[in-house]
Amino acid sequence: MSDRSFGGPKRLFWSARVSLTSRILAVNVIALVLLAGSLFYLDSYRNQLLAERFQLAEAEAEIVADALRGTTKRERRALLEAIGTDQQLRLRLYDKKGKLAVDSFKLAPPSFTLADPAVEPWFQNAARVLDRGMDFVLGAPPIPNYAEPATDEAAAWPEVGEARELGATVIRNRLAPDRTPVITAAVPVGEKGEVLLTTRNAADVTQSVRDARQTLAIIVGAALVVSILLSLFLARTIVQPLRSLVRAAVRVRLGRDREVVVPRLPERRDEIGMLARAISDMSAALRHRIDSVETFAADVAHEIKNPLASLRSALESLDRVDDAELRRQLNAIAAHDVQRIDRLVTEIADASRIDAQLSRTIFEPVDMVRLIKGIVAERDRREVNRDCPITVTRCGSDDMVVPGDAPRLERVIENLLDNAVSFSPPGAAIAVELAREDDRVAISISDKGPGIPLEAREKVFERFHSVRPAGEDFGSHSGLGLAIARTIVEAHYGNLSAETRADGEAGARLLIELPAWDSR
């Protein structure tokens, strides 16, 4: 049954340039790249932490400012010292003239110190470089650097002046030398124009972001390594056998190695194994087809050479013969040789076209009972059966419909009947029987001739098989009839074989088995 042609898969625009290994790696790495992109979202995590610290700084500054109202100078100093030490803050209180009145770092040892990048280990410098890189990629707004002013007056802190003017808390964020945030909060204190400035080094915010980024980077890196290794393993299991198949296919195409062994990969049960076995079978079939073509060509040359030699001899002899009767015999020989050559050429051309024509044929349901009865009736009308009666018997009531090409199946039956008639004695009966066996239709043609020896039952289907019935004129048959019949039957996914008669009588029985038509 011929295959219907459907449109092939659409070609991807990049498939011609990118290898299969690269595509496997890309598919597996893309997901990890997207996961790695989540590193950028750590910026929102950092901003959230900073926002919380700004709120905390505002609350702390306002609470301390409320506590300072109504206290004496001594009480203020003690309160700022205690709060600064306990909360790791630096508290400055400026009077209404902008002079520094109280500094918690001068009342007690500093509760925090800013790290010096020059003395930190290398990995901290690498972390700061990565921080800058992330800020650049994300387009984060620049943050001013923190530096202690040369003169510790309110004018050195813009937020102090803003807080005094606005009468509200003002928050500022700066970066310490080690790129950790320094958060300052300025808040008015009472009605005398005093302003409280709190300073906190929120190094833990930066460390939290770096720790999260490091953890995520480790996870992504490990997953990337595993994904690449698995991708390479997958690519190896796919690409390596494909390359072996490509090399074998190239050798088959070039024909440099007569016995090219295409790997069948029997241990693989996946699609690659199926492909390997399909290519191996295809190569074997192609090699068999090439051998058949070469053998056929040699047989054709041999078969045509004989009548040509006879024709040449007859024509050359005509010029030297004066006897009219002998000249008539030579002309008859020449005419017979011409007919023989014509018959050979016709049969050879038909045999060479069968496979190609059937490969393009769309099979239709064919009722073999009706087909065979029509052939037998036509042969009786033409009187080509040598007075041999042909009976058609149908076994059972099942239908005998097969998928196929009716003219070609008719050719098969004609060839088999011609063969049966030529080997049968004049007047001997020829029996055609049809039976349905599950999903197969069996058709047998039995004659009462000499039969076919067991050792010759395959040879009779070879091209130009020369064993003919006694008394038949030499060259009356091309020797291709049974070969053509088997070719057509096999193209219909069937089988044609030679057997002994089922009733034990003398004669040959040719059996055709074809798949039944599936009407579902």
Taking residues 483-503, what's their average pLDDT? Answer: 88
How much is the pLDDT for 3?
Answer: 44
* pLDDT over 70, % of the chain: 83
The region of weakest confidence among 164-178, 233-247, 414-428 is: 233-247
Which amino acid does the sequence have at 427? G
Report which DSSP code applies to 384: -
Give the whole-angstrom CA distance, residue 514 versus residue 502: 19
Q: What pLDDT, on a 0 to 100 scale, did the predictor assign at position 55? A: 94
Residues 10-45 pLDDT 10s: 554 444 455 666 766 776 677 666 666 665 667 777
* Residue 416 C-beta-side C-alpha neighbours within 13 Å: 31
Residue 235 clears pLDDT 80, i.e. is over it: no
d(CA 114, CA 203): 9
What's the CA gap between 288 and 508, in Å, rounded? 29
Domain ranges of the chain: 36-213, 262-360, 362-520
Pair 169, 186: CB distance under 8 Å: yes
Mind listing the pLDDT tens digit for each residue in 93-136?
A: 999 899 999 999 999 999 999 988 888 888 888 888 878 877 77
Nearest partner of 83 among 103, 104, 56, judged by Cα: 104
- Give the alpha-carbon dihedral of 338, 342, 345, 347, to 10 degrees: -130
Measured CA to CA, the distance from residue 277 to residue 249 in angstroms comes to 13
Q: pLDDT confidence of 2, banded at 50, 70, 90?
A: very low
Compute how many other C-beta atoms are within 10 angstroms of the C-beta atom of residue 298: 10
Q: Which CATH number fits domain 36-213: 3.90.1150.10, 3.40.640.10, 3.30.450.20, 3.40.50.150?
A: 3.30.450.20
pLDDT at 200 over 50: yes
The residue among 318, 347, 352 whose CA lies nearest residue 332 is 318
pLDDT: which is higher, 206 or 21: 206
CATH architecture for segment(s) 362-520? 2-Layer Sandwich (3.30)
Ordered DSSP codes for 423-488: HSPTT--EEEEEEEETTEEEEEEE--SS---GGGTTGGGSTT-----TTPPTTSS-S-HHHHHHHH
In the 3-class helix/strand/coil scheme, how is 45-101 assigned residue by residue? HHHHHHHHHHHHHHHHHHHHHHHHCCCCHHHHHHHHHHHHHHHCCEEEEECCCCCEE
Closest CA to 516 of 497, 487, 494: 494
What is the phi-psi region of residue 229: left when phi exceeds 0, alpha when psi lies from -120 to 50, beta otherwise? alpha
Average pLDDT over residues 476-496: 81
CA distances from 139 to 133, 134, 136, 178, 215 (A): 10, 8, 5, 20, 23
102, 93 contact by CB (below 8 A)? yes
Q: Are 183 and 171 in contact (CB under 8 A)?
A: yes
Higher-confidence position of 353 and 328: 328
Structure tokens at 362: 């769309």
Q: Which amino acid is at 11?
A: R
Rg (CA), the chain: 51
Whether residue 216 has pLDDT greater than 80:
no
**Does the structure show a pLDDT above 70 at 479?**
no
pLDDT of residue 338: 81
- CB of 373 closer than 8 Å to CB of 332: no
Torsional sign, CA 402, 407, 412, 416:
positive
Residue 364 has pLDDT above 80, yes or no: yes
Average pLDDT over residues 393-422: 89
Which is more confident, 71 or 14? Answer: 71
Distance in angstroms (rounded) separating the CA atoms of residues 453 and 419: 16
Give the model's pLDDT for residue 224. 78
Confidence of residue 58 (pLDDT cuts 50, 70, 90): very high
Residue holding tokens 């002998």?
326
Confidence of residue 383 (pLDDT cuts 50, 70, 90): confident
Structural element, H or E, at residue 164 = helix 158-166
Mean pLDDT of the chain: 82
Averaged over 200-206, what is the pLDDT?
A: 91
Burial of 447 (0-12, 13-18, 19+ CB in 10 A): buried
Tokens of 261: 């062994």
Which class in CATH covers the domain with range 262-360? mainly alpha
Distance between start and end Cα atoms, the chain: 15
In the three-class reduction of DSSP (H, G, I as helix; E, B as strand; rest coil), residue 365 is classed as strand
Given the DSSP bridges, would you call strands 495-500 and 440-446 parallel, antiparallel or unpaired?
Answer: unpaired
**CA 70 from chain center: how many Å?**
82
Q: What are 264's two structure tokens? A: 């069948």
Q: Is the separation of the CB atoms in 420 and 449 below 8 Å? A: yes
Q: Please compute the mean of the pLDDT values over residues 159-188 and round it to a whole number.
A: 93
